[in-house]
Structure 1
Amino acid sequence: MTIPHDGGSRSGPRAPRLDPADRAQLAESPVSLRRIGTLFAPYRWQIAAVVALIVASSTISLANPFLIRAVIDHAIPEQDVPLLIWAVAGMLAITLAASVLGVAQTWISTTVGQRIMHGLRTRVFAHLQRQSLGFFTRTRGGEIQSRLTNDIGGMQTVVTSTATSIAANATTVVGTAIAMAVLSWRLSLLTLLVLPPAIWLTRRVALTRREITARRQRVLADLQTQIEESLSISGVQLGKTLGAGPAMAARFADTSERLTDLEVRAQLSGRWRMATMNIVFAAIPALLYLAAGLPATSGGMTIGTLVAFTGLQAALFRPLMSLLDVGVSVTSSLALFSRIFEYLDLPVDIDDPRHPVPMPRARVRGDLTFEAVGFRYEGADRNALDDITIDVPAGSSLALVGETGSGKTTLASLVARLHDPTAGVVRIDGVDLRDVTLTQLSELVGVVSQETYLLHTTIRENLRRARPDATDTEIEDAARAAQVHDLIAALPDGYDTVVGARGHRFSGGEKQRIAIARTLLRDPRILVLDEATSALDNETEAAVQRALDVVSAGRTTIAVAHRLSTIRDADQIVVLDHGRVAERGTHEELRALGSRYAALLARAGTGRDTGAPAEEGAVTERGAADVAPRVQARRRAPGREEAGDRVAVEV
């Protein structure tokens, strides 16, 4: 927006200063006026009506001073009652007409502005939803929110107020200047001599206040950011665990102190501005009265002409000041359009195909194939995945294991088209995923990740996000399958319980099972489990795993796993190493092979976190001392090897 630099004002007149950020934005992303015009093109007749109403209102209002002159110079001195009545009635009629025209102009311009803003807002929102995860990874969430709210909100002011204000002010200045010249050319010349220093003085005060206001807005933004960061659930939790509460309070107090000082300075500056305006408004009429009273400059001027001229001159000052700021307003407006168009012009990396292949869920078996798949993140110096070829028959399960950073999550994300492979192809029932619409793909592929995101609304509405048309019975059936119905039913408000910010009212396992129920409502043919239980304790993991076993039945399942209990029964296990397939086979085959998978199992047994399946390493720290001897005893006992593998669930 148009805000000046920090710092005090310097002596000497100056034009309104442009925000350097606006200049930089326009230099980086120039805006075509033709493109802006296309936004207004559908409303050309409404805009023409607004301009006509502005011109009519301003023109009608200029008749008032002439009626005043007639009343003072003729109607009252000559006791001309009919003229007095007509003049007064004319004044009232002009005021009424101008008011009605003003209301109509405001209604039309606001409606047009709101429709344009609505169209832009929804276009930007929809376009951003189509962006890949990479965009949101490299872009701050606050930046996205700012463009959707602050920038479009600023444009709303431009469209509904600034444009009409420029038209109204220009019409008023031109019409008033003509009327003043008609009334008295001598006083008009005097006004031309007096106005420049008066404008300079008021603008000096206005610029000083603008600087203070800009600094106050920045400090206020800092204050709001501190409130958001420190008093959110996560912020309070972080402050308590780090003992940072006193430091946060001190920082907040310092920012509040700066804001207090700027508020006082802004108020004083405002009073100085008001005092300056009062001086100007008093000085100019006084000089006009002086000129009208001196024989050398009066030119036989009547009292009515003087009063009418003074009224016109007072009406000239404010619109003239506004027109002087047009350059700043236009530049800031163009910068706002540039920022919005910049987002609208972002390329969509993952989009619907031009000629999609229909894949109704009822006819999809769920065969999944990775064919020579490769993937590299933007800016990375090596591939995250390289030449991955895997066949996952319909209804079977695939487990992905490996060191942290081996590419497990990246490979799983390709199934839901969170990314597209940079080489090779991923197919469902022989169809390239890039030939399927994103809507149909979301019906075929369900994802349960480690980080469960719940909206700050009721459990029922959180579940309905998966299927807005789901009945209450279907919601409860999904919750039963996810092993969470009894928990929800026991709550005072049941399914109408508000989950709280990011679901903080529930434990990790409870949130995870709600997320599973949400996924189950969509009844996907393929299920992707991305470390869905890695952050849970053993007892909670066992409950969530039971829910996952129910959900996975009969579906093609891809599991990115940390724990042995989630993968040991998988139809095939693939060990990834630096984005390549290092080993593949069943649990027993890979363990018997005695290579990477066996090494990961052994390392997990030491309790080190490798991102691989854990046996004893999955045990909580509290029970590790008790479990270790039992695990060793089970391993030594004949026929107990399998039970030892399941210790993570049994403990």
Structure 2
Amino acid sequence: MSKNLKKMISYYKPYLGVFWADMFFATVSAAVALVIPLVIRYVTSTLIYMEPQAILGQIRWIALMLFALVAVDCYSRFFIANQGHVMGAKIEYDMRAEIFAHFQKLSFSFYDDQKVGQLMSRITTDLFDITELMHHGPENIILSLIKIIGAFVILMSIKPALALAAFAVLPFMFLFAYYMNGKMRRAFRSNRERIADINAQIEDNLSGIRVVKSFANEDIEKEKFRQGNEGFLRAKKNSYYYMGSFSAGLGTFTTLIQVNVILAGVILIAKGSVDISDLVTFLLYISVFTEPVRTLIDFTEQFQNGYTGFERFQEIMAIEPDIADKEDAKELVNVKGDISFEDVSFQYEENTECVLNHINLNVPAGAYMALVGSSGAGKSTLCSLIPRFYDVTAGAVKIDGCDVRDIRLKSLRDHIGIVQQDVYLFVGTVFDNIRYGKPDATREEVIEAAKNANAHDFIMSLPNGYETDIGQRGIKLSGGQKQRLSIARVFLKNPPILIFDEATSALDNESEKVVQDSLEKLAKNRTTFVIAHRLSTIKNAQRILVLTEEGIAEEGTHEELLEKGGVYEKLYQMQFHK
């Protein structure tokens, strides 16, 4: 816990000026609260016994002082609420930027096991509660401690016996708070996990809403959500049980403090050792004293919310990317595009069996290599090793004789273009999505890339041309149109190495032909890997590799493989002579 607290405190470092100013004004506000009861004591014990003229003479100065204190307190509270919140928002900004940047570093293997909705909770709900704690926590502690300690010192100076009666309850209160603190922490952590599950479920439902409606399964989705929602409600009830117990317990202790003071005060008045004015002052200070105690009650809930959120934040930040640059990693320059797989084996972390076993393959620069085979044979996995989406379990993948693990990731991926079957387009315009391939591209370069991808004509037919908003994931476009935009994006990037991962398998025949023409044009003079489901799209490949679960079963041209009468010939017969 101490390690996490130290890390949390480190986020104040850039804003120490505002932080200490916030603490200063919190101290000033607490001091004002302590001074006012002393003024009342002076009025009730001394001023009211003076001559009327003397009272009127002094009341002007007392009024002036009280109004000055009110003004100072007003500005102090304004600074705390304004600049303190701004500081909290800046810390939230820093933490959100940090975790988002960390998400960008994590590899595919991390995202294979995660739900988007749960990750969203880490950078929204969790962070909000963390920064609320980091803003209000220190000032609440300062305000509370100054008021409690100040009240104790003043009360001891007035009448030690009454002060001890007031503070005798405190040790029991703190023991109770310590006991309940652990139970509340576990309960609030459970809340975090349940709300993250609900967020994941909502994200999953809304992303697949068209599938839900096409199967008329709204009731099933509502039932799934109801179960998750009930789990969250149970967690909430559990946390509220402990929070209610905690709040009621501390509330009872604060009331006992007042009861103690009243009873002790009456006894001491009866004995003649306490004046009425002292008892009134004590009761005023009890309210000054119990108010910060209630603040600490609220702070405890806030602390549980914020700290459990920070623990979850740290869990993500503690995950080391399993694919990262070596310290001496180098830039990839003057790329020819020779690619070799040297005794490559690969297995996913959760699998005991290798997806790829001892693959040896040499692909010369500019070659057009097609990969075919049954589902699960490792075609996509093989290509994913080139840009290091995953690292080999054994062996090495090399580009121009250099192991990809010795190359800077950005440099490596800058030289590889990927066109996938499942095209992802971002919210925004056609222009923005094409320029994603080269963020500093000019408009002329974007249009040229679109023309090369056979996309310019359909783009110009859209309502606003290149400035047309394409909706979430390009929902307003057809499959062929989306695919051509993704190809235009790669044209703009202009990489020496290409990977086409079943880029036309989901398209109709007409769209497939247009997209295929674009792909052939893009592949010219580049080292190209084509993962193909439709064998008609790879007849012209210079080399076809047939992968099975045992490894590379066959390789050759389309005609050579048909003559062999092996795996490829069977696949071809299944597709064209059913």
Same fold (TM over 0.5): yes
Matching residue's letter, 1:435: D
Residue 343 of structure 2 contacts residue 395 of structure 2 at CA under 8 Å; is this kept in 1? yes
Aligned to 1:583: 554
Q: Secondary structure at the match of 1:98?
A: helix
Aligned to 1:14: none
Offset from partner CA, 1:405-429 (integer Å, 9 cap, x none) = 1111111111222112222222222
Structure 2 CA distance, aligned partners of 1:255 and 1:560?
Answer: 39
Residue 117 of structure 2 contacts residue 197 of structure 2 at CA under 8 Å; is this kept in 1? no
Matching residue's letter, 1:570: A
Aligned to 1:71: 43
Offset from partner CA, 1:262-295 (integer Å, 9 cap, x none) = 999x99xx99999999999999879977876788
Give the Å deviation of 1:569. 0.3
Aligned to 1:436: 407
Q: Does the C-alpha gap of structure 1 residues 286 and 407 become closer, same or farther in structure 2, counting only changes over 3 Å?
A: closer
Q: Secondary structure at the match of 2:539?
A: coil
Residue 115 of structure 2 contacts residue 200 of structure 2 at CA under 8 Å; is this kept in 1? no
> TM-score if structure 2 supplies the norm length?
0.84
Q: Does 2:142 correspond to 1:170?
A: no
Identity of aligned residues (%): 32
Q: Does 2:132 correspond to 1:160?
A: no
Give the Å deviation of 1:525. 0.9
Q: Secondary structure at the match of 2:3?
A: coil
Q: Secondary structure at the match of 1:80?
A: helix
Structure 2 CA distance, aligned partners of 1:242 and 1:402?
Answer: 32
Q: How does 1:115-264 map to 2 (within 5 A)?
A: 115-185=90-160, 187-188=162-163, 191-192=166-167, 228-230=203-205, 234-248=207-221
Aligned to 2:500: 529
Give the Å deviation of 1:43. 5.1
Structure 2 CA distance, aligned partners of 1:287 and 1:356?
Answer: 71
Offset from partner CA, 1:135-156 (integer Å, 9 cap, x none) = 1101222332222223332221
Q: Secondary structure at the match of 1:352?
A: coil
Structure 2 CA distance, aligned partners of 1:202 and 1:365?
Answer: 68
Q: Does the C-alpha gap of structure 1 residues 578 and 285 become closer, same or farther in structure 2, counting only changes over 3 Å?
A: closer
Aligned to 2:466: 495
Give the Å deviation of 1:453. 0.8
Give unmatched runs, 5+ long, in structure 1: 1-28, 204-208, 608-651
Offset from partner CA, 1:386-410 (integer Å, 9 cap, x none) = 2222222222200001111111111
Offset from partner CA, 1:605-648 (integer Å, 9 cap, x none) = 355xxxxxxxxxxxxxxxxxxxxxxxxxxxxxxxxxxxxxxxxx
> TM-score if structure 1 supplies the norm length?
0.76
Offset from partner CA, 1:234-283 (integer Å, 9 cap, x none) = 4432232222234556777899999999999x99xx99999999999999
Aligned to 1:468: 439
Offset from partner CA, 1:165-199 (integer Å, 9 cap, x none) = 12221121111222233344454455457899999
Structure 1 CA distance, aligned partners of 2:523 and 2:349?
Answer: 33
Aligned to 2:314: 341
Give the Å deviation of 1:341. 2.6
Q: Does 2:340 correspond to 1:365?
A: no
Give the Å deviation of 1:335. 4.0
Aligned to 2:382: 411
Residue 466 of structure 1 contacts residue 521 of structure 1 at CA under 8 Å; is this kept in 2? yes
Q: Secondary structure at the match of 2:553?
A: strand
Q: Does the C-alpha gap of structure 1 residues 571 and 84 become closer, same or farther in structure 2, counting only changes over 3 Å?
A: same
Give the Å deviation of 1:68. 1.8
Worse-matched range after superposition: 79-88 or 506-515? 79-88
Matching residue's letter, 2:325: D
Aligned to 2:181: none
Structure 2 CA distance, aligned partners of 1:552 and 1:586?
Answer: 17
Residue 375 of structure 1 contacts residue 423 of structure 1 at CA under 8 Å; is this kept in 2? yes
Matching residue's letter, 1:64: I
Give the Å deviation of 1:346. 1.8
Aligned to 2:487: 516
Aligned to 1:485: 456
Structure 2 CA distance, aligned partners of 1:355 and 1:197?
Answer: 59
Matching residue's letter, 1:89: L
Structure 2 CA distance, aligned partners of 1:388 and 1:262?
Answer: 50
How many aligned residue pairs are there? Answer: 574
Q: 2:393 aligned to 422, 431, 434, which one? A: 422
Aligned to 1:632: none
Structure 1 CA distance, aligned partners of 2:233 and 2:358?
Answer: 62
Q: Secondary structure at the match of 1:243?
A: coil
Q: Does 2:528 correspond to 1:553?
A: no
Worse-matched range after superposition: 397-406 or 426-435? 426-435
Structure 2 CA distance, aligned partners of 1:467 and 1:135?
Answer: 27
Q: 1:62 aligned to 34, 39, 44, which one? A: 34
Offset from partner CA, 1:33-66 (integer Å, 9 cap, x none) = 5444544455556545544443343224311111
Give the Å deviation of 1:441. 1.8
Structure 2 CA distance, aligned partners of 1:528 and 1:185?
Answer: 83
Give the Å deviation of 1:600. 1.5
Q: 2:540 aligned to 546, 564, 569, which one? A: 569
Structure 2 CA distance, aligned partners of 1:234 and 1:606?
Answer: 38
Structure 1 CA distance, aligned partners of 2:11 and 2:291?
Answer: 30
Structure 2 CA distance, aligned partners of 1:380 and 1:254?
Answer: 31
Aligned to 1:386: 357
Structure 1 CA distance, aligned partners of 2:88 and 2:388?
Answer: 37
Residue 421 of structure 2 contacts residue 502 of structure 2 at CA under 8 Å; is this kept in 1? yes
Give unmatched runs, 5+ long, in structure 2: 179-183
Aligned to 1:504: 475
Structure 2 CA distance, aligned partners of 1:601 and 1:374?
Answer: 28
Matching residue's letter, 1:240: K
Q: Does the C-alpha gap of structure 1 residues 174 and 475 become closer, same or farther in structure 2, counting only changes over 3 Å?
A: same
Aligned to 1:544: 515
Aligned to 2:285: 312
Residue 504 of structure 2 contacts residue 512 of structure 2 at CA under 8 Å; is this kept in 1? yes
Matching residue's letter, 1:61: A
Give the Å deviation of 1:532. 0.6
Structure 2 CA distance, aligned partners of 1:318 and 1:122?
Answer: 37
Residue 339 of structure 2 contacts residue 398 of structure 2 at CA under 8 Å; is this kept in 1? yes
Q: Does the C-alpha gap of structure 1 residues 413 and 321 become closer, same or farther in structure 2, counting only changes over 3 Å?
A: same
Give the Å deviation of 1:518. 1.3
Q: Secondary structure at the match of 1:415?
A: coil
Q: Does 2:348 correspond to 1:356?
A: no
Structure 2 CA distance, aligned partners of 1:312 and 1:591?
Answer: 96
CA RMSD of aligned residues (A): 4.3
Aligned to 2:422: 451
Structure 2 CA distance, aligned partners of 1:349 and 1:298?
Answer: 77
Structure 2 CA distance, aligned partners of 1:125 and 1:282?
Answer: 47
Structure 2 CA distance, aligned partners of 1:336 and 1:217?
Answer: 7
Give the Å deviation of 1:559. 0.2
Structure 1 CA distance, aligned partners of 2:314 and 2:244?
Answer: 40
Residue 67 of structure 1 contacts residue 90 of structure 1 at CA under 8 Å; is this kept in 2? no
Structure 1 CA distance, aligned partners of 2:284 and 2:262?
Answer: 12
Q: Does the C-alpha gap of structure 1 residues 163 and 195 become closer, same or farther in structure 2, counting only changes over 3 Å?
A: closer
Structure 1 CA distance, aligned partners of 2:89 and 2:498?
Answer: 43
Q: Does the C-alpha gap of structure 1 residues 134 and 414 become closer, same or farther in structure 2, counting only changes over 3 Å?
A: same
Worse-matched range after superposition: 273-282 or 337-346? 273-282
Matching residue's letter, 2:67: L
